[in-house]
Amino acid sequence: MTSRPSERVLVTVTGRDAPGIVSRLTGLLADAGAELLDVEQVVVQGRLTLCLLVHLPESRGVLKELLFAAHELGVALDFQVMETPAPVPAESGPVRYVVTAVGRALGVRELHAVAQRLAAHGANIERITRLTETHLGSVEFHLTLPAGAVPDVLKRSLLALSMEAGSFDVALQRESLYRRGKRMVVMDMDSTLIRIEVIDELARAHGVGEQVSRITERAMHGEMDYDESLRQRVALLAGLDVAVLRRIADNLPLTEGAETLIRVLKRLGYRTAVISGGFSVAAEALKARLGIDSAYSNVLEEQGGKLTGRTVGPIVNARRKAELLESLAKQEGILLDQVIAVGDGANDLLMLEKAGLGIAFRAKPKLREAADTSISAGGLDAILYLLGLTARELQEAG
């Protein structure tokens, strides 16, 4: 096979990986004056696939030299002439997205299910990358969507897939500068950073558990004005010994992956915050325990060592949460696109919408549908994979 000066040639190398392969082949191309247009390499279980797209000079001998060198290196080399594509204006080029699948263990059935959904929406998979090391727990699909495609339609389809499967989560994000450039993570507390609703625990200790629980559920599903629901629930706590509140705050059960998430974020220089409709005694305890940078929540009024059944200051409702997130980002000099917000209920919706990436964590269906993405099968540390971090990088940061 020969090539002409105007031809683009795709050189594909496969075989057992070893040091020096890339050096030897690119050295021959450089010596021949070839122009490198594109390059991609991947090694899977010690097996190499290397692709080099080049413009070759008039001298065609370099192809023979490449074949001879490949034989000496113990790899197979193939090449084919590629057509020169028509130039595409930058503004009309394909928009790139990343789909991240995270689960306890992903198998061929799970990857097929994701690929099938992508194909059904005309997505073209350009690269698949494994993020975990010892087991196949997280995979990234880098893809483009056809002109006119609506990303939200694909997002809803992938959400439906993860809800049907129940064993893994699938997230769609636009590939941009800010995907791996996040700088702040803001989290709800109750049923997000911790596994309980503090107000329900206080209510049970005070003998009003059923009454408070009913109001809580209605509020979290958006069926009741949050401010009124909070006032009603707190009023039922009147007379409770403050020592009960402090004991619960000292023994908050953390959600799976919470400690790993906060530890890695701190190592990477992220700012972290709790913005909660819960209570300050618990939020401040978490802040101290995990090293979170700031915490905002409702303050319960105390008098004579007892709760009065009232709160002090403005109620941290849905609107207040969004305002606090925006204020924190501005204070830290961080763009909203660089903020991640995590929550589980209707009270978190505005906060999630305000952030560059809003994550519904083990959330009610209404919030899962409205959020940018959802995590239900894994722990909070699954968020780290949505940032594009690999298990190796997490080990270094941990």
Per DSSP, the three-state class of 238 is coil
The answer to whether residue 337 is catalytic is no
Question: Amino acid letter at 223?
Answer: E
Per DSSP, the three-state class of 380 is helix
Q: How far is CA 222 from CA 176, 226, 349, in A?
A: 33, 8, 10
CB 247 within 8 A of CB 282: no
CB 150 within 8 A of CB 113: no
CB 259 within 8 A of CB 277: no
Q: What is the dihedral of CA 319, 322, 325, 328, to 10 degrees?
A: -50
Distance CA 107, CA 379 (A): 19
Distance CA 9, CA 57 (A): 11
User: Which of 295, 306, 290 has the alpha carbon at shortest distance from 328?
Assistant: 295
Within 8 A by CB and 6+ apart from 303, the residues are: none
The answer to whether residue 227 is catalytic is no
Annotated active-site residue in 38, 152, 188, 344:
188
Residues in the chain: 398
Distance CA 136, CA 143 (A): 20
Annotated active-site residue in 17, 38, 78, 190:
190
Active site residues: 188, 190
